[in-house]
Structure 1
Amino acid sequence: MRSLPVLPAAAGIFLTVTGFVWFLTEPAAGVPAAALNSASAPVFAQSMQGTRPDGQLTIRHDQLQVDPELLYLFDYYLSAQGEKPLPQILEAIRAELRQRLQPSSQALAQAEQLLNRYLDYKKALLALEKAENSSETKLNTAARLRARLSRLHQLRVSMFSEKDALALFALEEMRDADAVRRMEIFEDTKLSLAEKQQAYARLDANLPARLKEEREAPQRIQNVEQQVAQMRASGASEQDVYQFRAMQFSADAAYRLQELDREEQQWANRIQLYQQALRQALQLPDGPLHLPAVLTPSQQIALQSLRNQFFSPQEQQRLAAYEGRS
């Protein structure tokens, strides 16, 4: 499951990529180093229960392909700050890199060097954010964001080589620049509503291909999954579903969607068993499950015991909807 990068506010502006888009990403040509990752690896932190480390790392001609996937991997583990001490997090990242990049000592050295630079970049990013928060400006939102984008770009090219900065951050900067242009249109008091809508339409029409793909991806996935539902209703096998998805997206994306289906089915099965046990323990009637508004002490103990039996503490936060609670 793709976890979005955990960065200071200065880095994100106000655009994030939908969590579904990564399913459509074709692995780059070369050796997909993520294939070396162990699916049975223990969970690093409790908050990561049910997730896997991000980042589709690729080795090409004994070199690491530098792209945002590397940052997704770093940020996956760095998001555990507060649960785990930083030295332990860094060791987990380095262990993950060693596991994935073991065919190439050169690629591993590249990744570790970029990790050190990324840590320095994150520290500098925090300092930049503090400086921005303490400064006063009369600029409008779009102008402030454009100035921030410029400072971010300068910081990135100073912390990384220009080539690596472009490879790591170009797509993010394109997204943020597009967001700023839309904010400029929104704040332009000289434009009528119709003129603003026309300006937005022009931006949509001129989006770079990658951003256009990201915008269209959720609808595309929805359309494909509707067809998948129809296939299953007609008796199609899971192999048929896999092949259909692979034709629409890629073999890797089809596999990830298949894994998501499996995880959702496992969750649904656990919920069903939990609800059955809950009805029996609390002597609730058949039909839609609704917990009493007030539980006796013994019922509260029974409820918590069943929660602990079936779910982790993090998963228990999702149970209200399945217990008939608003």
Structure 2
Amino acid sequence: MQRASLALAGAVALTALALLWHMRASAPATTQAEPAVEAATTGASRAYVSSPSAIAPMRTDPHRALRDGSLRGTAVDGGVTTGFAGRVEPDPALRRLFDYYLSLLGETDLEGVRQLLREDLQRRPLDAGQQAAVMELFGRYVAYQQARTALAAPGGGDLAARLAQDRALRARLLGPALAQAFYPTADADDARLLRQLAHADTPDDAVADERALATMASTIQAQTDQLAAPSFTPAQRHAERAATWGNAAADRLDALDRQRAQWQQRLDAFAAEASAVEGDPSLDGAQRRVALQQLLDHHFKGPERLQVQAMWQTGLLHAAR
């Protein structure tokens, strides 16, 4: 089955968060959830995609993207730390530097991001060897981010299993030392979250909220999966949701259904056309790359374009049979 958009998948959990907040504030979800659910289901997610590609690069001026795009007027975040004998020491500051430039993906392509990072490093008191070391770390970090994007499974899977999968990806693609340097508290944070979710009888409000949120998100997703059966009409789905969460929340979940359906239609259309391009014997490799690039640009923009590119390259997206 094709993967749904990460932004749409996160909306289920965010909807649960909005409902939980209103319940704790003693506001009946049946009448007062709409503002929070409205805000909660409009989030978006940025996917990072690495360079190996069957699709031609975007030809977007990276300097223009940096000057006029979403980072306009901001200061570069993060930095490069060197230690004994000038060795580059990876740390969270270096990861923030990578994230700063990677946030331009969708406004320029990955080669443009690399160019901006290289130019940044050249302005720092770093020699050629140190700059090369940073770029090698950047390549490993991007590969990890691509794997996270490709393997993210919206709306399913045990939390402990998902955290373990991410931990395994960090160890395999970054290496234990770099994973620890970039994410020094990740393992402890994951373990604490799992302990908190496992203890329902704790008196701590924050822990209780985390467990209630996880349970509510799971309940909403399970209900959504059940109501996705063809035997349920849109009106029946709305009635079931309204009975559980209130009319306003049901309206937002109905809207989410429509967004998911529209997203799936776009994925199906792209996959069918891309499969035809890849199977066209009249095209050589260069022509095929250009054609796939044009299809991506036609169907998707910004972060979603990068997400679909990763899905196609890793075999998670295919034409409907």
TM-score (norm 1): 0.40
Larger RCO (alpha carbons 8 Å, 6+ apart): 2
TM-score (norm 2): 0.41
